[in-house]
Amino acid sequence: MQKTENKIYKIIIADDHQLFREGIKKLIYNKPNLEVSGEASDGKELIDLLRNTACDLILLDLSMPNINGLAALDIIKKKYPSLKIIIVTMYHENGFFDQTIEKGADGFMLKTQMFSKLTEAVEIIMNGGHYYDALSINHDLDDEKMDNKILQNNINYFNNTFERDVTSAIKDNEFNVYYQPILSTSTNKITGVEALMRWYKNGQILSPQDFIERIEKTKQIIEIGKVILEKSLTQVKKWHDMGYSNLSVSVNFSSVQFQSPHIVKNIKDALERTNLCPKKLRIEITETLAMQNLNFTKKILGELRNLGVTILLDDFGCGHSSLRYLQHFPVHGLKIDRSFIESIDTNEVNRSLTEGIITIAKQLKLKTVAEGVENEKQLKVIKDKKCEEYQGFYFSKPLSAEEFETMLTEA
């Protein structure tokens, strides 16, 4: 097949994982005949983008939010029949390959193959052909071992590159903290903040959903977590010194962090270095994490409580714990999962369950915090049910330290 000479192909990357988009952009940057003309994080954004963005080809993630990859493919091919589309997916999913072909996809690839085969695929497709990655569609037993070896090589390449990026990011101070206000339901005054990790990468801000699973898998979350804890405590101590000494700071700990051998020492050392009052630090662990190893959990939580810190069970209500275990955990409070709060004003079952959690918490003398409050009706319900604190977009999205400080001083 004869190639088109000196043609630059404009590509839109449509994927809800910022980290993947960044990886593809980095790859394309080094290809003289490829250019990124736009990117979208969900199907609706992609369709809106096409109205005013030049494009020859779309890399379209199969699992897109709002409008998924299959639906977006169908819409785009009907409206822009000459536009080329490669469907990309992390794993082979039975049945989807045939559906994408029926809807007119020009290619189908595993994400892990794109780093070695993207240029080849684009050239073939833009010259009138189709590219269906063998790893995505081949189920022959004889080829399976070879396919798995190729797949593993590409996964290893991607993982190694990612680990190097994270190591550099730690060294270059790219991991920072945003703060979401926590308020009293009785006074509507700010009582604290939840510290939320952000990655400042190449001029963009990545939220944890783009990379958290990978840094947990590589265990780099332990080192990053120490950085986030230190920054959070240092910042809140600064606000205390400005006169806002009532503020607490909630810091999340993952399973990997919680099970690391020096977790208690790391927290104790950070408190001593920053000189923050221990009771102003709230350690949040998920209900699911707490139930993984009951004896170990009780031991570590007991040691943390002896430091004087406050301990909350996060995402309470969505795990598998028995309420009878609550009296055995040395915790100070519960954060009611947002899945209950999002429909608490319209769903009688969720409203009753939330009321039950609050009632039991009060009987056990535990504080309750509602997550994900997004409108006035939800706030009214949790106030009526005597939940003590809340956080959510109704009052404020997560803010940079500078933005939150401005909020404090203008209040």
For the ranges 106-110, 194-198, 294-298, the maximum mean pLDDT occurs at 194-198
What is the arithmetic mean of pLDDT over 216-237? 95
Name which residue leads in pLDDT, 337 or 245: 245
Sheet strands side by side (includes 107-110): 34-40, 9-14, 57-61, 84-89, 107-110, 131-132
**Same domain membership, residue 182 and residue 145:** no
Residue 335 contacts residue 315 (beta carbons within 8 Å): yes
Name which residue leads in pLDDT, 43 or 231: 231
**Same domain membership, residue 115 and residue 201:** no
**Same domain membership, residue 219 and residue 80:** no
Q: In 308-397, which ranges are continuous DSSP H helix?
A: 338-341, 348-363, 376-384
Residue 349, in any domain of the structure: yes
**Same domain membership, residue 386 and residue 271:** yes
What is the arithmetic mean of pLDDT over 152-172? 73
In angstroms, rounded to a whole number, what is the distance separating the alpha carbons of residues 378 and 104?
44
Average pLDDT, the chain: 85
State the pLDDT at residue 349. 86
Residue 11 contacts residue 34 (beta carbons within 8 Å): yes
State the pLDDT at residue 143. 44
What is the arithmetic mean of pLDDT over 38-47? 91
pTM of the model: 0.68
Decide if pLDDT at 12 tops 80: yes
What is the arithmetic mean of pLDDT over 248-271? 95
What is the arithmetic mean of pLDDT over 2-11? 68
Decide if pLDDT at 244 tops 80: yes
pLDDT tens string 302-321 = 999 999 999 999 887 665 55
pLDDT tens string 59-98 = 999 888 888 888 899 999 999 999 999 988 876 555 577 7
**Same domain membership, residue 259 and residue 223:** yes
Decide if pLDDT at 106 tops 60: yes
How many domains does the chain divide into?
A: 2
CATH of the domain at 270: 3.20.20.450
Helix 221-241 and helix 141-171, axial crossing angle in degrees, nearest 10 = 30
**Same domain membership, residue 211 and residue 360:** yes
**Same domain membership, residue 154 and residue 50:** yes
In angstroms, rounded to a whole number, what is the distance separating the alpha carbons of residues 319 and 92?
29
In angstroms, rounded to a whole number, what is the distance separating the alpha carbons of residues 184 and 405?
18
Name which residue leads in pLDDT, 261 or 184: 184
- For residue 191, the SS3 value is strand
Q: What is the residue range of 154's domain?
A: 9-161
**Angle at Cα 290 formed by Cα 289 and Cα 291, nearest 5°?**
90
